[in-house]
Amino acid sequence: MNKQTEEALKIVKETLALEDKYGHALNVLNYDMETICPEKGMEAQGEIISFLGNEAFKLRKDDKFIEAAEVLYANKDELDALDKVLADQLHRAYLQDKNITPEKQLEYSRIFNKAFVDWSAARKEGKFELFADSLAAVDKAGKEMIALREKTAEEENYSVYDMMLNDYERGMTTKELDETFNRCKEVLVPLLEKIKASNKKIRRDFLSIEVTDEQQKQMADYLLSVMKFDTTRGAYTTSEHPFTSGLAKDDIRLTTHYYPDQFISSMYSIIHEGGHALFEQLQPAEDFDHYINGFKTLGMHESVSRFYENRIGRSKAFVHLIYPKVCEIFPQVMKGVTEEELYYALNIVEPSLIRTEADEFTYTLHIIIRYEIEKEIVSGKLDTKDVGARWKEKYKEYLGIEPSTDREGVLQDVHWTSGFGYFPTYAIGNMYNSMYIKAMEKEFDIEAAVAAGDFDKINGWMKEHVFAKANRLAPAEWIKDITGRDFTPEDFLTYITEKFSKIYEL
C-alpha cells in the first residue's frame, strides 16, 4: 500500500470512529423515542435527533474526508478485501449525498421527525387527515433527495422509485418486483379462495383468552433463551410498533407489544425481532473493525427474522418444543388445547387488516398492497390525501375485507414517516429464506434440530452461510453465494402451496 493510500485509510477510519459515536447516541435517542419518551417530549427529542444526525452528516461532508475516501476508491486494489468493500460503499454514499448540504440534510431530518410525531398523534386519534400533510412532505423530500443524487453506472436507467428501493435492497428494481409480485398474485389469490372454501375447521376459541403482561414477558424471556439470544449483549422492552436496533456491537435492543387478548402476537413479534437481533449479534466481529457492519440490506435482514418467525417458529417441530412451556405460562388459555390444535391455530389462514398480525399465507398480499400504493404515490398518480381511500380499495380487492378505521388501515405502519421503498423487503426476505433453507436441509435434519432445541446448530449454520458475507456482498451475489442459484420466488411459492394445501386438505 502506498503512503497516500495508507494516510487516506487512517483519515477515513478516524472519521468513521467519531461518526460511530454519534450513531450510538442517535440510536439510544431513537430507541427512547419509540419506547418511553412522553408524548409531549417527542418534538423536542426529535430536534435533538435531527441536530446530532446533522453533526454526524457534517463529518462526511468534510473536504479532507471526501478526498481521503475518493483516494481509497481510486486505489482500492491496494486494500484488503474488507477495506475494499468499505471503499466501494463510501463512494456510493458520496454520490448519494454529494449535492445535499448539511442545511438541506437538517431540513429533511426535521421533515421525517415531524412525520413520526404527526403519525403518532394521527394513529392515536385514528384520523389519517392529521398525517396526510406530513406524508406529502415526506414524498416531496424523498423525490428531492433522489433528484440531487449522482447515479452510478448501474443506476443510470433507474426510475425515482427504483432509486428508493435501492436504499433498502441494492440492485432490486420495479421491473423485477413487478414480475415477482405478479407471480405471487397468480399463485396466492386463487389458492386463498380455495382455502376459504375448505371444509377444514381449525379451533380458535382459545386465541383471544386474556393473559397478563407478566405472562407475556415470561414467554418472551423463554423464547429468546430458546433462540440463544445473548442477554449480556442485548435487551428488550415494549413499544407501539415492535422493532430491533443495533445500538452498538455489544448492545442490541428489540421490542415487542403486549395485547391482553392476543397472546400469540407478542410471542411471534419477539421471535421475529429475535431473528433480527441474532443477525446483529452473530455478524463477524471484523466487520465492525472495518466499519462495514451496516451494509447488509433489509431484504437480507427480513429473510432472517421471518426464517425464525415462520420457517422455524410456526413449524410442527417448534410447536412440539414449546408446547409444554406455553401450557405452563398460559394455563387459562391452554386448558384442554392439544399440541396439534396449537399448531393449526398458529397456521390458520384468515384475511385480516393488520399486517403485523397477518398469517404467514396472506402476509405477502399485505406487502403487495403497500408496494402498489407506494408506486402510485411516487409516480404522482395518487395524491397523498387519497391514500386512505386507496388503501381500502386494495384491501377489498386482494383480501376481501375493508378497514373501518384509519388506525386499522392506513395508519397501522410507521414506515412511511421515513420514506418509501422499505416494505417490499419483507416479501423479498421470505423468498431469500425459502431459497437458503433448501441449502440448509442438505446438511442436517432441521426438524430434528428444532424439536431438540438445538439452536446452536441452526444459528451456527446461519452464522457461517447467511451472516458471514451479508455486509460484504450485494444481495444478488449474496443469495447466489449461499445457494448457487439466482433469486427466485418459486421456492417460497412451492413451500406456501404445499404447507397450506396440506393444512386445509385441498
Can you give the CATH number for the domain in which 235 is found? 1.10.1370.30
* Helix 63-74 / helix 3-35 crossing angle, nearest 10 deg: 120
Q: What is the pLDDT of residue 356?
A: 84
Describe the strand order of the beta sheet including 251-256 as a list of residue ranges: 234-238, 251-256, 244-248
Residues 105/383, Cβ–Cβ less than 8 Å? no
Q: Which residues does 290 contact at the CB level (< 8 Å), separation at least 6?
A: 82, 83, 85, 86
369 phi, psi to nearest 5 deg: -60, -50
Kindly state whether residue 272 falls inside one of the protein's structural domains.
yes
Strand partners, 238: 256
Q: For residue 196, what is its C-alpha cell?
A: 376459504
Q: How far is CA 119 from CA 87, 161, 493, in A?
A: 37, 22, 34
- The total number of structural domains that make up the chain: 2
* Same domain assignment for residues 181 and 139: no
* Same domain assignment for residues 432 and 311: yes
* Same domain assignment for residues 138 and 216: no
* Same domain assignment for residues 145 and 180: no
* Same domain assignment for residues 218 and 116: no
Q: What is the pLDDT of residue 154?
A: 86
Kindly state whether residue 157 falls inside one of the protein's structural domains.
no
- DSSP letter at 467 equals I
* Same domain assignment for residues 252 and 129: no
* Same domain assignment for residues 305 and 345: yes
Element spanning 237, H or E: strand 234-238
Instruction: Provide the residue type at 405 as one letter.
Output: T
**Contacts for 404-412: CB closer than 8 Å, 24+ residues apart:** 405/126, 406/122, 406/126, 406/127, 406/128, 407/123, 407/126, 408/353, 408/354, 409/128, 409/353, 410/128, 411/119, 411/122, 411/123, 411/126, 411/128, 411/131, 412/123, 412/353, 412/354, 412/355, 412/356
Kindly state whether residue 162 falls inside one of the protein's structural domains.
no
Q: For residue 249, what is its C-alpha cell?
A: 456491537
Kindly state whether residue 231 falls inside one of the protein's structural domains.
yes
- DSSP letter at 136 equals H
* Same domain assignment for residues 137 and 230: no
Kindly state whether residue 391 falls inside one of the protein's structural domains.
yes
* Same domain assignment for residues 92 and 217: no
* 169 assigned to active site: no
Question: Is beta strand 244-248 parallel, antiparallel or unpaired with respect to 234-238?
Answer: unpaired
How far is residue 120's CA from residue 141's CA, in Å, rounded to a whole number? 20
Element spanning 254, H or E: strand 251-256
Q: What is the pLDDT of residue 240?
A: 84
Kindly state whether residue 344 falls inside one of the protein's structural domains.
yes
Q: For residue 470, what is its C-alpha cell?
A: 451479508
* Same domain assignment for residues 305 and 379: yes
* Same domain assignment for residues 371 and 464: yes
Kindly state whether residue 102 falls inside one of the protein's structural domains.
yes
Q: For residue 419, what is its C-alpha cell?
A: 420514506
Residues 169/432, Cβ–Cβ less than 8 Å? no
**Residue 480 class from Cβ within 10 Å (0-12 exposed, 13-18 middle, 19+ buried)?**
middle
Provide block-wise average pLDDT over 10 residues at a time, the chain (506 residues): 93 96 94 91 91 93 95 95 96 92 92 94 94 97 94 90 95 96 96 95 95 98 98 94 91 95 95 97 96 95 97 98 98 97 97 92 97 96 95 95 95 94 95 97 97 98 98 97 97 98 96
Kindly state whether residue 48 falls inside one of the protein's structural domains.
yes
Q: What residues make up the domain containing 357?
A: 175-503
Q: Which residues does 490 contact at the CB level (< 8 Å), separation at least 6?
A: none
Catalytic residue among 169, 273, 280, 360: 273
Q: What is the pLDDT of residue 220?
A: 98
Q: Which of 150, 167, 200 is the last residue of a domain?
A: 150
126: left (phi over 0), alpha (psi -120 to 50) or beta: left
